[in-house]
Chains A and B, each alone.
Chain A
Amino acid sequence: MENLLKFTNKKLKLLEMALEISKDGGTTRPKILDKILKFRKVALIIAYIGAYLSAQWLFDPVNMEVTRISEHSLMPGLVTPKFDKSGIAIQLYRRFSDLPKSKSQQELIHTIFSDLGLECFTHKWRSKVAGNPMNGENVYGFIRGPRNDGAEAQMIVVQLGRSEKSRRMMSRMLAFVDYAKDQVYWARDIVIVFVDGGEKNDSIEKAAFALDAFLLKYQKIEALNSKKSITVEADEIQAQTGALIGGVVYDLSGMAVKGQHIVNIQTNGLNGQQVNLDVFNGITKIADSKHHSRVAIFGTLHRHSNPYMEYSPFIVPMRALYTQAFISIEGIHSVLGKYGVQGLTVGLSHDYSEKQTGQFIEEVSRMLNNVLERLHQSYFMYVLADDLHFSSIAMYIIPLTILVSPLVISAYFEWTKIQEFQFPVVHLAFHVLGFFYYIATTYVFQTIGTTFVLQWMQWPFVGIDGCDGQFTPSWSLINSFLIFFMIPLGPYVFLKEPVRCVPSMRIVCLLETSLVLYGICLTNFGLAILCTAFVVPIVFLMTYESSDRTRSIFRSSVLAILNPISVLAFVAINIPGMFGQLFPTISQDSWLAAAQSIALTAIREDVEFKVNHFFLLCCFGYPIWNMLFACSMRYGPEPQGSLGIFGNGSDDDDGDDDDGPQKTNRGHSTKKNKRE
């Protein structure tokens, strides 16, 4: 009975609050908002603690969802494999090994396809990016499905190369082609592409670019847009099949430890895209149930089944977030998402026999053979903890929301105090400037290269480097960009022409930051959460009201150092110190070299693959950083909020005790100002 009374009282109180809201037509601010605003000063600390605790709970595999196959048509992957062409694979391996230098691998593959009676073509491509010239030649062939209606197809990708692993993988794939051409159950054509990635360390990026060039032509992007690609020049595709629904890149990067095979799977694509979780699950199931192999993701084994080492359950989620955020080209498959193809890289165990490799490929191909339509069930936005557990967007968005909340609360607090909102025009100007940096830098990298000079008419100038018409010495694009990007223009602009209403600027900065972080979160959670962890305290503290001169000078100086690229370089250099061996580190150990490396990578990936890091950096990072100076620098006293336990003034006592010069009294468009 008591409980019932308590419950009724509680309900009545809620009803009372609702009625309170409706009084005066809703012009009175709901009390709940006043209560939230009381915690504004400690919101940042509460948010950090809340986000940490929620992340701790959410990213523990025990609390995560268990993976499952949602697309039932994928289940036929669990078939009895019948691949039996091991001998062919071994013969082909010998042919690849004995290949004379006068003959290319492309020619050999072409010959083998012709011998098998299958269509095969070469595809030459060239990068038009002046800052990173590349060229190569892919080979592609088709296995036509007897039951195919021509609407859809699947893709298999293997990288060319002269290393032993590459030769083994190519020969096994060709043996599978020999086997598959005789099967009658194919309901989808199979497109097999051998991409030319060269032999150097950067071969993954080059191979990804090669696959990008193939897909650009295969998917008829240029024909659809009637615009030529500005980055790639390539041969037209000479034979066509249906729309690609799925693609798998095979290599032999997996391991075998004490007889236990480990399959290495990579799932991340460009700009936070990930493969449909069903495809990942299907391959995991095949590896586990048919081949008794463990699956490693992000180079780490399933925690519960790893008998070799003990490590934290958070290592894989952390690596998943880091990889999604900053490793744009995780594997060759990373460009597949750009063309709407669900793809991933399967690193088969290098200790698999020819037969086992062929059977694995057969099972995966038969799984994708049964997809009824474009993969749409299951999840595209997830964070993997191991091969059995994941967190979906509905869950992992919680810590980010908690982290961003101090900015939203602060913005609302400013709004309650403000009397007249004046949109700062300089806000637009900084965005235009940031966009100009973006356009100019990518244009130079695209058309001129990594060094450039200013050139005028040929006569009478003869340049320093002996080049006709050269007006200036050669400049490094990266260094020029860093100089322009890292010089804080904000202090100069705001000292020269102070903003008329600092609270308006605060609101704009706070809301824009929140909106951008949330927008990024919807496409690339890893990038969003890692940025949020660093950006939120900076923006919160820099927009906090303070007319104290010493504090303003101090925080403006700190802000000048906290340029977005400086922060990135600092974190990149100190990763080993902060996270141990959790993340891969960049080789540079000086701050400047790290900044140059970050800038070069961001520009190159933007131009070549349309990775949006550089765009975000220029069009949002740079303007917000500069606009924060308007809030961090000194301005006149401003009214204390009448809300909250920490503010005890009212809007009427604003600025009357102002002893500073009028020019710096920019706290508010106060009533005093109005009277003036």
Chain B
Amino acid sequence: MAKDKKLQTNQEVEKEQENGSPFSDFWVPISAAIAVRAVCASYSDLFEERVELTSVVYSFEKLKDSIAMVDDGLNPFEAKNMHFPPLTLHLFRFLLNTAPTMILPLFISIDVATTWILSSAADVVWRQTHGSSSIRKLIFSLYAFNPITIVSTGILSLTVIQNFVSAVILLSLVTDRPTICAILIGAWSSFTIYPFILISCLVFRSNGSIVKFLSLVLVSALTTITFVGINYLLNNQSLNFLGPVYASILNFSSIQPNSGLYWYFFVQIFEHFRSFYTMSFVVLYFFMPIPITFLIRKDTILHFTIIGFLVSIFFPYPTLNQVSLLLAFLPVHDVYKKHFRYTILIAGTIVSTVFLMPVMWHMWIVSSSGNANFFFGTTIVYNVALINLVMDMIFVYSRRQIDLEYSDALKKNTKMDFAFY
């Protein structure tokens, strides 16, 4: 009995060591995360106009402009570059009028909550695959102390809220709560449309039942419709917000520089080809999840990560912060680590291009020693690196399946002739 007690005590000590103290594991990192965001906010004027960190649909400055139009009795949806749905407008108008000083603490809280939710989701996955919980701290640090997330919170980028929703969806997915997932995907889609393809992840939470999956799609669609209805009511029962909010995303009409793929293309293209390419890009985007879902059937989390990357890469008005959540979540895919082929190449490219974007912008806009090609060059290489990452993730999945299924036949020197990509 005494021996058992001793053993139990040892186990508890080990468990405590594994978990660490709440002070060092919880309060210190969270306090640090809050502190760096607060400090960054005091230097927000250095970053708030950086096109890599804000875009027409995530810029708080543009949101304030739109709210000012509402305050002045003007219809904001008659303005050229107004892409915020009425719900966002009225919610932030209320906050700005009632508690403007609370907006920064609110954004900081949301971002820190995102960090916590993300690390919790990673923890759940890690426990399922490895049986221990050593990943939590790492994921927390990767998101909380990523300079891009810090700066984005400091400048009150709306991507902070997007990342929060994305983290909650991820947590719901890993804890097997498909209905919450469907509702959140529907709600989020009512703001920017593109996240709707995340619904494909729920195929793996439908227990093989097509009826259940369709019912989840229906729940998601109904949520979207509900939010559109709320927007309709808030907009004085007018549907004139549909064009600026939704059509502008589907037809890439706002072609200001950003870190995405499309702006430069649509600046350069002849007008009579525009509709063809618009249709092609939209169809391609909504088609992409189908083959990926057919291929990656045995790993829901990897599937979610890939689809999440696609949402971020192919969104017409992205910012660098959109992939922060998914990049921080990558260490969870530890089982595939040995098969990744271009880790240093992709990591080096992403870091280099993020560093070079402000340099190229300076060359183009400030010193005139470069032109738009310079900036676009870095953004396209950045996006190619992300696409390479997605392709590498698809490759590692396939490679691991071969290992699992043909492990008996494989020898150390077996050569497999894959295509280069």
* Partner of B367 from A21, A26, A523 at Cβ < 8 Å: A523
> When A23-B417, A227-B45, A515-B351 are in contact, do A523 and B341 touch as well, CB less than 8 Å?
no
* B347 closest partner in A (C-beta): A421
Closest 10 CB pairs of A and B: A25-B418, A380-B369, A273-B367, A22-B420, A519-B359, A415-B344, A381-B369, A26-B341, A522-B359, A23-B415
Q: Is B363 touching A522 in the complex (CB atoms < 8 A)?
A: yes
Q: A390 to B258, alpha carbons, bound, how many Å?
A: 34
* B402 closest partner in A (C-beta): A25
> When A511-B351, A522-B360 are in contact, do A337 and B367 touch as well, CB less than 8 Å?
yes
* Partner of A26 from B348, B370, B371, B418 at Cβ < 8 Å: B418
Inter-chain residue pair count (beta carbon < 8 A): 69
Which residues of chain A are within 8 angstroms of B366 by Cβ–Cβ distance? 338, 340
Q: How far is the CB of B293 from chain A (nearest CB, A)?
A: 22
Q: A340 to B364, alpha carbons, bound, how many Å?
A: 11
Interface on chain A toward B: helix, strand, loop, or mixed SS?
Answer: helix
Q: Is B344 touching A380 in the complex (CB atoms < 8 A)?
A: no
Interface residues of B in 355-374 (CB under 8 A from A): 355-356, 359-360, 362-363, 366-371
Q: A523 to B366, alpha carbons, bound, how many Å?
A: 11
Q: A380 to B344, alpha carbons, bound, how many Å?
A: 33
Q: Indicate if B90 sits at the interface (CB-CB under 8 A).
A: no
Which residues of chain B are within 8 angstroms of A523 by Cβ–Cβ distance? 359, 362-363, 367, 369
Which residues of chain A are within 8 angstroms of B45 by Cβ–Cβ distance? 227
Most chain B CB neighbours (cut-off 10 Å) among A22, A26, A338, A511: A26
Q: Is B341 touching A27 in the complex (CB atoms < 8 A)?
A: yes
Q: Indicate if B145 sits at the interface (CB-CB under 8 A).
A: yes
* Partner of A375 from B348, B355, B368, B371 at Cβ < 8 Å: B368
Which residues of chain B are within 8 angstroms of A376 by Cβ–Cβ distance? 368, 371
Q: Is A515 touching B368 in the complex (CB atoms < 8 A)?
A: no
Q: Is A25 touching B395 in the complex (CB atoms < 8 A)?
A: yes
Q: How far is the CB of A192 from chain B (nearest CB, A)?
A: 24
Please, what's the 1-or-0 string for B122-160, where 1 marks a CB less than 8 Å from any CB in chain A?
000000000000000000010001000000000000000
Q: Is B416 touching A25 in the complex (CB atoms < 8 A)?
A: yes
Further 19 A-B residue pairs, CB within 8 A, beyond A272-B367, A522-B359:
A22-B417, A22-B418, A23-B417, A24-B418, A25-B341, A25-B399, A25-B418, A25-B420, A27-B339, A271-B367, A340-B366, A381-B369, A511-B348, A515-B355, A522-B360, A522-B363, A523-B359, A523-B362, A523-B369
Q: Is A519 touching B356 in the complex (CB atoms < 8 A)?
A: yes
Q: A274 to B368, alpha carbons, bound, how many Å?
A: 10
Q: Indicate if A412 sits at the interface (CB-CB under 8 A).
A: yes
Which residues of chain B are within 8 angstroms of A338 by Cβ–Cβ distance? 366
Q: Indicate if B215 sits at the interface (CB-CB under 8 A).
A: no
Interface residues of B in 282-330 (CB under 8 A from A): none
* A273 closest partner in B (C-beta): B367
Size category of the A interface is: 20 to 34
Q: A515 to B349, alpha carbons, bound, how many Å?
A: 11
* A412 closest partner in B (C-beta): B344
Q: Indicate if B99 sits at the interface (CB-CB under 8 A).
A: no
Interface residues of A in 489-528 (CB under 8 A from B): 511, 515, 519, 522-523
Q: A25 to B420, alpha carbons, bound, how many Å?
A: 6
Which residues of chain B are within 8 angstroms of A79 by Cβ–Cβ distance? none
Q: A522 to B141, alpha carbons, bound, how many Å?
A: 32
A-B contact pairs, 25 of them (CB 8 A): A21-B420, A23-B415, A23-B417, A24-B415, A24-B417, A25-B341, A25-B395, A25-B417, A25-B418, A25-B419, A272-B367, A340-B368, A374-B368, A376-B368, A380-B367, A380-B368, A380-B370, A415-B344, A425-B141, A515-B351, A515-B352, A522-B356, A522-B360, A523-B359, A523-B362
Please, what's the 1-or-0 string for B384-421, where 1 marks a CB less than 8 Å from any CB in chain A?
00000000000100010000000000000001111111
Q: Indicate if A36 sits at the interface (CB-CB under 8 A).
A: no
Q: A26 to B367, alpha carbons, bound, how many Å?
A: 42
Most chain B CB neighbours (cut-off 10 Å) among A21, A342, A511: A511
Q: Is B369 touching A273 in the complex (CB atoms < 8 A)?
A: yes
Q: How far is the CB of B376 from chain A (nearest CB, A)?
A: 15
Please, what's the 1-or-0 string for B196-239, where 1 marks a CB less than 8 Å from any CB in chain A?
00000000000000000000000000000000000000000000
Most chain B CB neighbours (cut-off 10 Å) among A24, A381, A428: A24
Interface residues of A in 370-397 (CB under 8 A from B): 374-376, 380-381
* B147 closest partner in A (C-beta): A428
Q: A541 to B79, alpha carbons, bound, how many Å?
A: 59
Which residues of chain B are within 8 angstroms of A271 by Cβ–Cβ distance? 367
Which residues of chain A are within 8 angstroms of B352 by Cβ–Cβ distance? 515
Q: How far is the CB of A661 from chain B (nearest CB, A)?
A: 22
Which residues of chain B are within 8 angstroms of A27 by Cβ–Cβ distance? 339, 341
Which residues of chain A are within 8 angstroms of B419 by Cβ–Cβ distance? 22, 25
Which residues of chain B are within 8 angstroms of A515 by Cβ–Cβ distance? 351-352, 355
* A381 closest partner in B (C-beta): B369
Interface residues of A in 268-294 (CB under 8 A from B): 271-274, 276
Which residues of chain A are within 8 angstroms of B360 by Cβ–Cβ distance? 522
Q: A113 to B94, alpha carbons, bound, how many Å?
A: 56
Please, what's the 1-or-0 string for A21-44, where 1 marks a CB less than 8 Å from any CB in chain B?
111111100000000000000000
Which residues of chain B are within 8 angstroms of A522 by Cβ–Cβ distance? 356, 359-360, 363
Q: Is B355 touching A519 in the complex (CB atoms < 8 A)?
A: yes
Which residues of chain B are within 8 angstroms of A274 by Cβ–Cβ distance? 369
* B369 closest partner in A (C-beta): A380
Q: How far is the CB of B180 from chain A (nearest CB, A)?
A: 33
Which residues of chain A are within 8 angstroms of B418 by Cβ–Cβ distance? 22, 24-26
Q: A340 to B368, alpha carbons, bound, how many Å?
A: 7
Q: A337 to B419, alpha carbons, bound, how many Å?
A: 50
* A432 closest partner in B (C-beta): B36
Q: A272 to B145, alpha carbons, bound, how many Å?
A: 32
Q: How far is the CB of A622 from chain B (nearest CB, A)?
A: 17
Q: A428 to B29, alpha carbons, bound, how many Å?
A: 14
> When A380-B368, A511-B348 are in contact, do A26 and B359 touch as well, CB less than 8 Å?
no
Which residues of chain B are within 8 angstroms of A340 by Cβ–Cβ distance? 366, 368
* A415 closest partner in B (C-beta): B344
Q: How far is the CB of B362 from chain A (nearest CB, A)?
A: 6
Which residues of chain B are within 8 angstroms of A26 by Cβ–Cβ distance? 341, 418, 420-421
Q: How far is the CB of B377 from chain A (nearest CB, A)?
A: 11
Which residues of chain A are within 8 angstroms of B399 by Cβ–Cβ distance? 25
* B45 closest partner in A (C-beta): A227
Please, what's the 1-or-0 string for A95-122, where 1 marks a CB less than 8 Å from any CB in chain B?
0000000000000000000000000000
Which residues of chain A are within 8 angstroms of B355 by Cβ–Cβ distance? 515, 519
Q: How far is the CB of B421 from chain A (nearest CB, A)?
A: 8
Which residues of chain B are within 8 angstroms of A519 by Cβ–Cβ distance? 355-356, 359
Q: A513 to B117, alpha carbons, bound, how many Å?
A: 35
Q: A227 to B45, alpha carbons, bound, how many Å?
A: 10
Which residues of chain A are within 8 angstroms of B367 by Cβ–Cβ distance? 271-273, 337, 380, 523
Q: How far is the CB of A127 from chain B (nearest CB, A)?
A: 21
Q: A25 to B417, alpha carbons, bound, how many Å?
A: 6
* A514 closest partner in B (C-beta): B352
Q: How far is the CB of A316 from chain B (nearest CB, A)?
A: 21
Q: A522 to B369, alpha carbons, bound, how many Å?
A: 9
Q: A376 to B363, alpha carbons, bound, how many Å?
A: 12
Q: How far is the CB of B213 from chain A (nearest CB, A)?
A: 33
Q: Is B359 touching A428 in the complex (CB atoms < 8 A)?
A: no
Which residues of chain A are within 8 angstroms of B363 by Cβ–Cβ distance? 522-523
Which residues of chain B are within 8 angstroms of A272 by Cβ–Cβ distance? 367
